[in-house]
Structure 1
Amino acid sequence: MLHLSIRRIEVLLAVADAGSFSGAAARLGIAQPSVSEQVRALENSVGEVLLERRRGRPVQPTAAGRLFIERARAVLEQADALVNQFDNYARRHSRRVVVAAQRKLGTTILPSLLAQFAGAHPEVNFEVRNGSYENVREMLLDGTADVGYFLGNQRVADVESTVIASEPFIFVASASHPLARRKRIRPAELAAHPFIRGATGSQLTREIDGLLANVGLAELDVNARSTDDHVIRQFVEAGLSIYFAMEKSVAADLRERPIKKLPVASPPLALAVRQALTPRRRIGPFVRTFYAYVRDNWP
């Protein structure tokens, strides 16, 4: 009875595809003598010479080698399919739920939803990863995360998402800021004062740029940029900058710190909250239950 190693088959195919033992070694990241040894061992197992070796010429499969390689490729494809099938099975029956969220959502609204769900479903194990819009999208596309949360009015490229809520944005400033004493402020008046903004080039910044442009604030005097809430808070409290914030992200500051919401006379400004599932695999029951819970209970 033949005992064939998947690894030896992979090495043989790498040599055939590269046309040389050295090329296969480079592709596989192993030493060339190891490649030669694996191929020899495979040939000994099947009792046939599978590769024709001629000095100065590319390695070519023999007649037996061509037949073996054709069948071997099919075997490897079936092996990959088997691994993927059982990976999907494990994922569907896993109690682990990996949640990826933009920081604005993952540090403000989602924590309470996660805690509430975990309290009702103690059998579920959560892993929560906060990052940028781009980070969350990448985690969904590569299957690292099961479910993701985005803040933005534009559709997420290559990911099917559903709008589950809308989060208002407001202008905030120090209680000592000249505009904080006003009862009504026209958007154009804000342009005369410095702002602190997020990082340039991010999708969230582009989304916020769109909201500001809608009220005539495409051009602003930006005296600082940061994604760190502590830095932003210090600039605002010191009266150095106005900040355009997701309202729920500054709710505690408005209650507890010398920061005020500016009464800007503008249409409601908001970004959609989008929920998405990874397209890389079938989703298990725990992920679907959590997905529905967040959709139905977003505050």
Structure 2
Amino acid sequence: MLRYTLRQIEYAVAIWDHGSVAAASARLGVAQPTLSAALAKLEEQMGLQLFIRHHAQGVSPSPAGFRFLAEARNLLTHAEDFQRGMAEAGSLVEGQLSLASFTTIAPAFVPPVIKGFASQHPGVSFRMAEGTQDELFDGLRRGLYDVALLYAVDMTDEFLVTPLASFAPHVLLPARHRLTRLTSVPLAALREEPFVLLDIAPSRTYFTRILESAGITPHVAFSSPSLEVVRGLVGQGLGYSILITRPRGDHSYAGEELAVRPIAGEVEAGVIALAALKQMRKTRLVAAFEEHCVNCFKAFGTAP
């Protein structure tokens, strides 16, 4: 016999999403005493304190509440999926998909991926987020995201990873740099050059590993977590960088011309992948989005 109801679970997740009973009440159109009573009953039934109450500042999940609420969100998703499946008895894909993306991947790939999927499935809405690799991992573990678009670097076996495309890294140079006369740049030619590092995980370890594998200890003159700041520093002639992401038009935000050259010889490719938490059962919506991404990325790069 179940000791809780889906309505109680829905109320608890809404309180988490909106940060307070009052905000959840306004959003759901349910009286505050009703929400408070449902939450208290759920905590009693589970034997857990799900939230820490902050006087006049709403609530935040307790340590035990984080795990419970992540699982609760997944339960609601599957309950909705089950209801739609029984009602439609077919292949209709609808609902909300929570998609997170690595910060440098998002601008180039997320908009066209979403546009294509939305045109095929107009009943789907998206909740989007961007972040570092660690932030994406944390969000997947906590059930905040259904899937995350990221680089398949330093992945652990807790994630289900679907490779989408591989891209070769390139050398980014100031337009008038001496090495621009080459059609491809040997890494050895960069040994004494100042390096502008994209300082965000896992990019920092990936790009430095490429240089170190060629026996080069990079001289990091500047570093930034922003792709466009890195491109701007290179545009000012302050060093070179190694990147994967290449925005349309080889110019910095300030208008300086940039030169892009492939790396001579074989180097470790960057693999873009879709990741989900293994312990979360895949819904029809997630499965359909995964299939769409696989097809969509065939036009973006070479499949790994």
| 8 A contact 1:211–1:269 mirrored in 2 | yes
| Shift in alpha-carbon separation, 1:191–1:120, aligned structure 2, 3 A | same
Aligned mates of 1:135, 1:83 — CA distance in 2: 19
- Within 5 Å, give how 1:201-240 maps onto structure 2: 202-217=201-216, 219-240=217-238
The answer to which of 140-149 and 90-99 deviates more is 90-99
Please tell me the residue identity of whatever aligns with 2:231.
R
Please tell me the residue identity of whatever aligns with 2:295.
D
| 8 A contact 1:140–1:146 mirrored in 2 | yes
| Shift in alpha-carbon separation, 1:140–1:10, aligned structure 2, 3 A | closer
| Unmatched segments (≥5 aa) in structure 2 | 1-36, 56-70, 85-93
Residue 84 of structure 1: CA displacement? Answer: 7.1
Aligned mates of 1:140, 1:12 — CA distance in 2: 27
Normalized against structure 1, the TM-score is what? 0.66
Alignment match, 1:67 = none
Residue 83 of structure 1: CA displacement? Answer: 9.1
Matched, 1:283 2:273: no
Alignment match, 2:140 = 140
- Within 5 Å, give how 1:167-186 maps onto structure 2: 167-183=167-183, 185-186=185-186
Alignment match, 2:15 = none
- Which of 249, 253, 265 is 1:252 aligned to? 249
Alignment match, 1:63 = none
| 8 A contact 1:211–1:270 mirrored in 2 | no
Aligned mates of 1:168, 1:120 — CA distance in 2: 31
Higher helix share: 1
Identical positions, percent: 18
- Within 5 Å, give how 1:32-111 maps onto structure 2: 85-86=75-76, 88-90=78-80, 93=84, 95-111=95-111
Please tell me the residue identity of whatever aligns with 1:229.
L
| 8 A contact 1:194–1:221 mirrored in 2 | yes
| Shift in alpha-carbon separation, 1:232–1:8, aligned structure 2, 3 A | closer
Please tell me the residue identity of whatever aligns with 1:249.
R
Determine helix, strand or coil for the equivalent of 2:239: coil
Determine helix, strand or coil for the equivalent of 1:239: coil
Aligned mates of 1:176, 1:136 — CA distance in 2: 38
Aligned mates of 2:42, 2:261 — CA distance in 1: 68
Aligned mates of 2:164, 2:175 — CA distance in 1: 33
Aligned mates of 1:13, 1:110 — CA distance in 2: 39
Matched, 1:274 2:276: no
RMSD between superposed Cα atoms in Å = 3.5
Alignment match, 1:66 = none
| Unmatched segments (≥5 aa) in structure 1 | 18-23, 32-80
Alignment match, 2:241 = 243
Determine helix, strand or coil for the equivalent of 2:222: strand
- Which of 30, 35, 40 is 1:7 aligned to? 40
Residue 114 of structure 1: CA displacement? Answer: 1.4
Matched, 1:297 2:286: no
Determine helix, strand or coil for the equivalent of 1:179: helix
Residue 221 of structure 1: CA displacement? Answer: 1.1
May I ask how many residue pairs the two structures share in their alignment? 234
Please tell me the residue identity of whatever aligns with 2:286.
V
Normalized against structure 2, the TM-score is what? 0.65
| Shift in alpha-carbon separation, 1:132–1:120, aligned structure 2, 3 A | same
| 8 A contact 2:154–2:202 mirrored in 1 | no
| 8 A contact 1:143–1:280 mirrored in 2 | no
Alignment match, 2:197 = 197
Aligned mates of 1:243, 1:213 — CA distance in 2: 14
Determine helix, strand or coil for the equivalent of 2:250: helix
Aligned mates of 1:137, 1:87 — CA distance in 2: 20
Aligned mates of 1:293, 1:155 — CA distance in 2: 22
| 8 A contact 1:142–1:280 mirrored in 2 | no
Aligned mates of 1:98, 1:146 — CA distance in 2: 5
Please tell me the residue identity of whatever aligns with 1:223.
A
